[in-house]
Every structure is written in C-alpha cells, then in structure tokens.
Amino acid sequence: MDVFSNLLDERGFKGFKVDNFHISHLLYADDVLILGEATLDNCRILSSTLEEFANVSRLHINYDKSSVMFSKNTRNRDLLCQVLSICNVSHKLVYLGIPISFTRLKVEDFLPLMDKIHKKFMGWKANLLSFAGRLQYLKFTIQNTIAYWIRGSILPKTVFKFFRKTCSKFLFFGDITSLKKLHMVSWDSVCLPKQKGGLGIPSINALQFAFNCSVIWRMYNCSSPLSNWLSAHYISPWRPPSTKDSKFWISICKTAVSVKKNFTFIITPNASISVCWDHWCNNTTLAEFVGGASLDYFPHPFLKSYISNSNWVFNSLTPQSLKIALGSFQIVESAISCLMWKNDPKPKFKDFVEDYYMDFSDCSWHKFIWHKKHILKNSVYVWLALVGGLKIQDALRHRNIYVPVVCSLCNSISESVNHLFFECTYSFDILNSLIPGTRNFLLRPTILQLFNWMDNEFSGAFLSFYLLIVCSIIYQLWRERNNKRFGNEIRSSSSLLFYVKKVVNAKVYKWKNSDGLLGNF
C-alpha cells in the first residue's frame, strides 16, 4: 500500500488541506479511506491512479463494496460518481465499527452498538454470573465497548439513557428484560470511585471527560494526523468555539475550560502552542501577561514561529520591554512533553477519570471493604449494606412495600440493617465466635462501629485478616437470612461458622504470615 500512497502524491491528487496540514488517505487493514476535493479533474486523477495501481499490483477495486460520500454543498454528484465508477452514494460509512458522517449522527446510527450491548447482556455466560461477576463483566467488557464508541462519537441522550437503564438492571437483577423491579441504589451512586463510596464503574460522562482530556494532551504532545488536524484547524482548545464547529470540538472546548488549571505548558522549540489562546505565560495568556499591550507583533498563531535554534526571534517592531519580558521564559529542548497534566508529563487515562470525581466527597469506610486482600463476592454485599442496597424489611416499608417484620435469624426483633449486623443475637454470637475481642463490647455494634474499633485495635496484615472475616460473616449472614425467609432452608450457626472459616482459610493460606494469622482462628 506504500506504492498506492506514493502514486496518489505523484499523480497530483488533491487531498484535504488546511494551512500546513495535508491528508489524502487513511489505510487500515483491508480498508482504504480517500479524502479529496470533489472536482471532475481530481476524480479523474483518482480513477486513473486506482486503475494504474490495479495493473501493477493485481489488486483490483471491488466497486460493489465501495461507496462515496459528498458534503451537502457538492454539485454534479452523478457526474462525479460516473467518473469514479462508484454508484453507491452513502450519507455515512462505518469505519472500524464506528459510523462516520458529514452530518450529526442520529439514534438509529447507534443501533449496532445498542444491539451489541444487548446481546452481551443476554448471553448465557452473563446469565450465569453472580452479583460480583456481573460487576466485573460491566467494568471490563461492557464499559470497554462503550468507551470505544465514545472515542469516535458523541452519544445521544437516548443512547445514554439506554445504557444507564440496561446496565443498572443487569447489575442488580441479572435480567435486562424485567419491566418493574425495585432499584435500591441509584446508578449515579454505583458510578463513583470506590474511595467516593461507589463500585468503581466510571460513568459515561466520566469516560467522555477523560477522553476529551486525553485528546487535549495528545494534541500538543503527539504527532498524529488527528493532532495535526486539530492544531491546524482549531489552533487551541482554549480558543472559544464558533457555532459552526462540530459537537465533538465544542465538547473538547468545554472540558478544556473546566480543567485549565490542571494543564501547564513547557515551551519547546517545535510545540504547537498558541500565542494568543494558550496559558503559557506563567499559567496566564499572553494578553493577560502583557496587560493590554498590542498583540499585532505576533501575526503567526503558534509560538514555534518565534523560536529558532532554541532562541526567541521577535519582529523588529516589537517593543524592547516586550522582548525582555517574553525572553525571560525558558525554552526547554529536552522536555518530554510541552503540555503537562498536574506536572505529570505522561498522564494516564485513569488520572483524567479520577479528576472528574475530584469534587465528590471522600467515603470514610471504603478502605475497610476494599482493602488489598478483600474478596469481591463478600465486599460487594457489605457495600450494599452500607449504602442501603439490601432489601431489608424497614427499607421496603419506607417504599410502601410490606413484608414480614420479624428478623428471620433471631425470630424476635424487627428487622433492619443495624439489627441484622450485629444487634441480632444470632449474628452477634457468630461474630463473638470468630473475633473474641468483640465480647467485651458494652453494646452490640453496627458495621461502621465494628470497622472503626478494628482500625484502632489492629494494623497491617492483622487488620486485613479481621476485615476479611467480618465481610465474610456479613455475606454469609445475608445468604442465611434469605434462605430462611424464601427457601425454608435452616442452617445451624455451627455450619455457618464452619463455612466462614473455610472461606477465610482458603484466602489467607497463601499469605506470607498465614501461620501467625490462622494459629488462633
């Protein structure tokens, strides 16, 4: 295909050009995208080049599988198609699985994505997953699919709502076809980082924000067709967008304004830093730095036009005071990046996602359930208990759903989260058997009170060990409660203790200091 690229250049095919940026084609696997002026002469050059390439390489064009797209103001479309021998005129095309169009994409353009997500949810593998398994499936399979589309298009609100609805149903019920089921936890609460009280699934808004930040960073630090095009056409993301700009670029500009304080510039000889719009003068723009002085001395849009051999080169008419002021800014030749994110020259995608949630308040108890040695299957149910996600009797009654009041474990006291964990005699006895120190409590603790006590009493591996025990107890108590209430299955406390010990032993057995931890367990 290098031969084809050279032929296009040699035969004079006119591609797409803005200032110094020029592009005529994109190659990927067995797909070829050719971009150029919609004129008869240009189409004749393209047609003859394709024919010449076919004669040389024996790779002939399949015109039945080829299509052509025109902008809305293009004339003589039929004549141009006749010259190209391509009859299929399309308003959009699918490139690498993502629809591309000159006009704004509609909801029906996203039906392949919605159908793909629907099939993943309805697959037999997904139907066999537990709550923890569905969480992992969402985080590493579904979210990656959605993130790929976000990189190529702006999702409409209808598609956005579809993902929220189906993902929530799948996570909590494992069935996206259910019409009316009670959601105890909002999807916004789920889509928070773990340290903010959520399950660590980034929302679509967070993914879009992070992608916009990565585009801004790559626009200045990476030499790619996308970066070069954005710099040539828009100059800077901090330049106010016009009403004619694409929805994609307007989204980029909004993000750029909101995170301006996080981006800092390092002046390098070849960086595409905007003279007027970027905040390269001690985190201020040039206009703010010079205090209202005329900027007519800088006719070129990019700073690199005024740098030669790592030295400043100014117009002879530039005032001496301005030369001295701007000359004080150091030009760094060895810098890895000219745009840094919070003083980091190579930020990661997760850094941008974390910044999206920066203004959300931290959660005080996340470290107790998401410690390094946690068991996901157990920790997710502890999380549900702490955020009100368990369908306990008192929570259901607040929603006018009436169920049996009495606790199914002790059969004497009204059921609530605090009672079940660990005011209930049955659950408190289990806790005392596995953590003897709790026998000295004057009052039976709640989950958070128990966690705070453990945080003061233990540290290091011992703290992780006892947190693991508590989370395992809570999960097994919830299972036992449901079995007694809905399955008529009765398991003795000794059987539950045995199962908790079995799970903890299997987890702790491979720890470095397992003998010391399991010695008295």
Residue 199: its pLDDT value, please? 97
Q: Tokens 């959660």 label which residue?
A: 363
Question: Would you say 295 and 276 are in contact if contact means Cβ atoms under 8 Å apart?
Answer: yes
Question: Would you say 48 and 4 are in contact if contact means Cβ atoms under 8 Å apart?
Answer: no
For the stretch 204-254, pLDDT in tens is 999 999 999 999 999 999 988 899 999 999 999 999 999 889 899 999 999
Residue 445: its pLDDT value, please? 96
- For the stretch 232-236, contacts whose Cβ atoms lie closer than 8 Å and that sit 24 or more positions apart, written own/partner, are 232/18, 232/19, 232/20, 232/21, 233/18, 233/21, 235/274, 235/277, 235/301, 235/302, 236/274, 236/277, 236/278
Amino acid type, 481: R
Burial of 273 per CB tally in 10 Å (0-12, 13-18, 19+): buried
Residue 181 pLDDT greater than 90, yes or no: no
Question: Would you say 347 and 339 are in contact if contact means Cβ atoms under 8 Å apart?
Answer: no
Tokens of 239: 């330049």
Residue 187: its pLDDT value, please? 96
Helix axes 204-221, 157-173, angle to 10 degrees: 120
Torsion from C-alpha of 42, 18, 258, 281, nearest 10 degrees: 170
| Banded pLDDT at 266 (limits 50, 70, 90) | very high
Mean pLDDT, residues 424-431: 95
Residue 1: its pLDDT value, please? 73
CB atoms within 10 A of CB 343: 8
DSSP state of 263: E
Residue 466 pLDDT greater than 70, yes or no: yes
Residue 106 vs residue 356, higher pLDDT: 356
DSSP state of 423: I
Question: Would you say 415 and 394 are in contact if contact means Cβ atoms under 8 Å apart?
Answer: yes
For the stretch 283-326, pLDDT in tens is 999 888 887 667 778 888 899 999 988 899 988 888 888 888 88
* Nearest alpha-carbon partner for 142 in 158, 119, 108, 124: 119
For the stretch 468-490, pLDDT in tens is 999 999 999 999 999 998 887 77
The three-state (H, E, C) secondary structure of 241-256, written as one string: CCCCCCHHHHHHHHHH
Residue 520: its pLDDT value, please? 67
Tell me the residue ranges of DSSP E strands in 301-364. 307-308, 311-312, 339-341
Mean pLDDT, residues 392-408: 92
For the stretch 58-98, pLDDT in tens is 888 888 888 899 988 888 899 999 999 998 888 888 877 88
Given 3-state DSSP classes, what are the helix, strand and coil percentages for the chain, each rounded to the nearest 5? Answer: 50, 10, 40
- Rounded Cα distance between 12 and 49, Å, is 10
For the stretch 1-42, pLDDT in tens is 778 888 888 888 999 888 888 899 888 777 888 999 999 999
Tokens of 292: 């209202």
Instruction: Provide, rounded to the nearest whole percent, the portion of the chain with pLDDT above 70.
Output: 99
- Rounded Cα distance between 515 and 158, Å, is 56
* Nearest alpha-carbon partner for 204 in 223, 224, 188: 188
Segment (H or E) for 496: helix 493-508
Q: 45-49, 318-322, 430-434: which range is least confident on average?
A: 318-322
DSSP state of 92: E
Residue 60: its pLDDT value, please? 87
DSSP state of 156: P
For the stretch 334-362, pLDDT in tens is 888 999 999 999 999 999 999 999 999 99
Residue 101: its pLDDT value, please? 85
CA angle 502, 505, 508 (to 5 degrees): 150
For 403-416, letters b (16+ CB in 10 Å) and e give: eeeebbbbeeeebb
For the stretch 122-174, pLDDT in tens is 887 777 899 999 999 999 999 999 999 998 888 899 999 999 999 999 999 98
DSSP state of 183: -
Report how far apart, in Å, the C-alpha atoms of 183 and of each of 170, 187, 347, 403 are: 11, 9, 36, 17
Q: What is the mean pLDDT of the chain?
A: 91
Tokens of 53: 């390439």
DSSP state of 260: G
